[in-house]
Amino acid sequence: MATLQKIRNRGALLILFVGLALFAFIAEEGVRSLSSTRAESHQRIGEVFGNTINITEYNKLVDEYVDVIKFSSGSDNLTEEQMQQVRDQVWSTYVQNQILEHEAGELGLTVTDAEMQQIIKNGQNPMLAQTPFVNQQTGAFDIEQLNQFLTQYKAVKDQPGQPAEALAYYNQLYNFWTFVEKNIRQQTLASKYQALLTKSFIPNPVNTLNFFKGQSAEKDVLLATLPYSSIKEEVKIEEQEFKTKYNEMKNLFRISDPMRDIKYIDVAITASKADREEILAEMQEVAEQMQAEDADFANIIRKSGSTVAYNAMAVRPAALPSDIAKELDSIAVGTQKGPYLNASDNTQNIIRVIAKASMPDSVLFRQIGVGGIDEAAAQKTADSIMTALNAGVPFDSIARKYNQTGEETWLTSAQYETAILDENNQKFINAICNQAVGTTQQVKIGTGIAILRVIDRKNFVNKYNVAVVKRPIDFSNDTFNKTFNDFSQFIATNKTIEEIEANATKSGYMVQTREGMFSTEHNVAGLSSTREAFRWIFNEDTKVGEISDIYTCGNNDHLLVVMLTGKNNEQYRNLESVKDYLQSEIERDKKAAMLQEKMEACNNLAAVAKIQGALSVDTIKHVTFNAPVFLQSIGSSEPALSGAIAKTAKGQFAKGIKGNAGVFAFQVTGEENTNAEFDDISKQNAKVQIINQGIRASSRYTSELMEKANVKDNRYIFY
């Protein structure tokens, strides 16, 4: 009881304590939730219709596409530039699909599984022909091959103990197929949506007749022109007029991504005089080594720093750099040229022509590969095969005996000339290229033997066995450090953008300006490897007027400093950034008003022609409503003039027509209809053209829906 009384006596304090504890618990959960939300928001790659995609989901789509490219091309790696193109394509496809699915969902459009099965069964979709499931004779998609693969894939996947290589291949091919299937589904949905839009452009009798008249009714006019250039006095513009015009034309200045204005200094690091002299001395040593009778060209060139590897195969000049190829005929076999400077690519070069021969560009051959438990067993089998071939046994029948096709295969120069070949491959190719037509020989390849029969040789060309050293004239570490230190000192001394601009030229630097840089771009100043600089530019914490650190860019041969001069995260370009454009528009409006005022008292062309600055009266023939008039005298296309002429009757005079390059007055002198009757054929032609216009318009629906979708692209934060 005593304890209970104590609790009662201290009840208010206890309630307060519990309340504080509860508040702390709620606050802690709130902080956790807030931290989680912030972390999640920092992972958002973008947003469409309020639906977000995070970096993990986006990377999964990118990886899927990369796997498809690798599988299709047989390549193992993509360059950074190729990866950027892939990311752009994946994002563009994702946005389009999100927009399409949103719009189609509101309309109830879908692609059912039954439709997909029918599309695949028909085999007419062009994407199906790009799969491996194609009849080799007809080139058409073969559903039986697809079904056979899907059955095999399930068996391989479900059966344990499968070789890892085989399982990996089946997985790659299956992923490739699901990618194609997904894209066909999206493509079909897009076709349905576009077809629906196209149907909204059904011609009716009124617009069909108007279209016919606009195309077939031609008029001839006498035209007087007062060009804007005839007004020499300066047109004064008040600040309020800029604001009014900006608001009037604001939709033209809409932007969908963050935009920045920058100034920057790009310092290219180049080799010093000492660097060049050192490289030349090293190249002279290489040249001496290459002149030795027992010169190991492969080893010498590998150590020389050459960008052209040694290939012991004889190759066409086209397989070599163009500047090297043009020197070959001037160098005798067994001699060399260089070292010499090639200024076009800033390299020192040595060329040694080892041999020259006329060789076939293409060879048709057959082969049977022979192996065995050891070299002796392989040789015994090869000798047996040669005996059978010499006795007249067909080549393909012997090949089938050893589970090979022995099929005829063309080997072309382009297949091997630029590749780095090992000794066995070189031996194999040399044997084929130098073998007489109709002969069969054995060639020892490693521990096995290849039996080769040459069927045909075509297109004999001059080929060269040539050793090339192409050494870039690079800067040394000392040169890099000096350039960096000098630039660092300049930036440290000049702490503001104004100081940098004032002192750059006399210090040997050039400040460049870039306005209207979007977050969807991928580099700064046209340089590669500028990701960090790009992130700094678009970082929300970077303030206008700030100067970046020094970034090493390009191929580590450029130094870059960026200065942020403008920042726009709004939906429109700001007034200052479009002021020059607005000025030209306002000046045109004011000049048009001035010229229209001058025309006001004119009742005929003769009076207009007497106005100071007027051009001589022209005769313009065959003017139609559907085609803008192009005036050779002022080099301008004038749609407004076409419209005014179309609604003016024969014999009438019209004036004050404001155009792109001037103000016009005209009198219609003639009128005719190229198609005398609005008959069934004319109606049908007009309808077809109206429908085609609708198709062209509907094909651009994605761009029209981008604004509605409120697309946000945050990829610049991550890449």
- Residue pLDDT, tens place only, 587-644: 999 999 999 999 999 999 999 999 999 998 999 998 888 888 899 889 999 999 999 9
| Residue that finishes a domain, picked among 448, 472, 496 | 472
| Residue that finishes a domain, picked among 423, 444, 472 | 472
Q: Which helix (H) or strand (E) holds 176?
A: helix 164-199
Which of 503-508's residues contact partners 24+ apart within 8 Å by CB, and which partners?
Answer: 504/265
User: By residue range, what is the domain housing residue 488?
Assistant: 264-270+476-558
- pLDDT score recorded for residue 447: 82
In a domain, 241, yes or no: yes
Which of 632-635's residues contact partners 24+ apart within 8 Å by CB, and which partners?
Answer: 633/225, 634/225, 634/227, 634/661, 634/662, 635/661
- pLDDT score recorded for residue 685: 75
Please indicate, yes or no, whether residues 438 and 300 belong to a single structural domain of this protein: yes
Please indicate, yes or no, whether residues 413 and 308 belong to a single structural domain of this protein: yes
In a domain, 707, yes or no: no
Please indicate, yes or no, whether residues 585 and 554 belong to a single structural domain of this protein: no
- Closest Cα to residue 211, out of 659, 620, 672, 675? 675
Q: Which CA distances in Å does 170 have to 62, 142, 150, 152, 222? A: 20, 18, 9, 9, 75
Q: Are 398 and 484 in contact (CB under 8 A)?
A: no
By the 10 Å C-beta count (0-12 exposed, 13-18 middle, 19+ buried), 17 is classed as: exposed
Please indicate, yes or no, whether residues 414 and 485 belong to a single structural domain of this protein: no
By the 10 Å C-beta count (0-12 exposed, 13-18 middle, 19+ buried), 22 is classed as: exposed
Count of domains in the chain?
4
In a domain, 693, yes or no: no
- Helices 164-199, 55-73: axis angle to 10 degrees equals 110
Distance CA 94, CA 183 (A): 11
Please indicate, yes or no, whether residues 353 and 428 belong to a single structural domain of this protein: yes
In a domain, 645, yes or no: yes
Please indicate, yes or no, whether residues 502 and 611 belong to a single structural domain of this protein: no
Distance CA 210, CA 643 (A): 13
- pLDDT score recorded for residue 446: 83
In a domain, 615, yes or no: yes
Q: Which residue has the tokens 């792109």?
A: 660
Runs of H (alpha helix) within 435-495: 477-493
Distance CA 223, CA 617 (A): 5
In a domain, 197, yes or no: no
Record the tokens describing residue 635, joined without a space: 């080099």
Record the tokens describing residue 533, joined without a space: 């600089």
Other residues' Cβ atoms within 10 Å of the Cβ of residue 242: 18
Distance CA 553, CA 576 (A): 31
- The SS3 call for residue 331 is coil
Q: Which residue has the tokens 């509860």?
A: 22
Q: Are 245 and 702 in contact (CB under 8 A)?
A: no
Distance CA 667, CA 224 (A): 9
Amino acid at position 161, single letter? G
Please indicate, yes or no, whether residues 540 and 593 belong to a single structural domain of this protein: no
Q: Which CA distances in Å does 24 have to 17, 20, 36, 499? A: 10, 6, 18, 52
In a domain, 174, yes or no: no
Buried b (16+ CB within 10 A) or exposed e, 102-133: bbbeeeebebeeeeeeebbeebebeebeebeb
- pLDDT score recorded for residue 40: 55
What is the CATH classification number for the domain harbouring 367?
A: 3.10.50.40
Distance CA 125, CA 138 (A): 15
Please indicate, yes or no, whether residues 436 and 311 belong to a single structural domain of this protein: yes
Distance CA 429, CA 427 (A): 6
Please indicate, yes or no, whether residues 419 and 286 belong to a single structural domain of this protein: yes
| Residue that finishes a domain, picked among 499, 527, 558 | 558
Q: What angle do CA 279, 282, 287 make, to 5 degrees?
A: 120
- Closest Cα to residue 225, out of 580, 629, 656? 656
- pLDDT score recorded for residue 664: 96
pTM confidence score:
0.69
Distance CA 457, CA 358 (A): 12
Please indicate, yes or no, whether residues 350 and 426 belong to a single structural domain of this protein: yes
In a domain, 124, yes or no: no
Please indicate, yes or no, whether residues 460 and 485 belong to a single structural domain of this protein: no
By the 10 Å C-beta count (0-12 exposed, 13-18 middle, 19+ buried), 577 is classed as: middle
User: Considering Cα of 242, then 245, then 247, then 250, what sign does the dihedral take?
Assistant: negative
Low-confidence residues in the chain, pLDDT < 70: 1-42, 213-215, 674-676, 695, 697-702
Residues 6 or more apart whose Cβ sits within 8 Å of residue 78: 66, 69, 70, 86
Please indicate, yes or no, whether residues 590 and 517 belong to a single structural domain of this protein: no
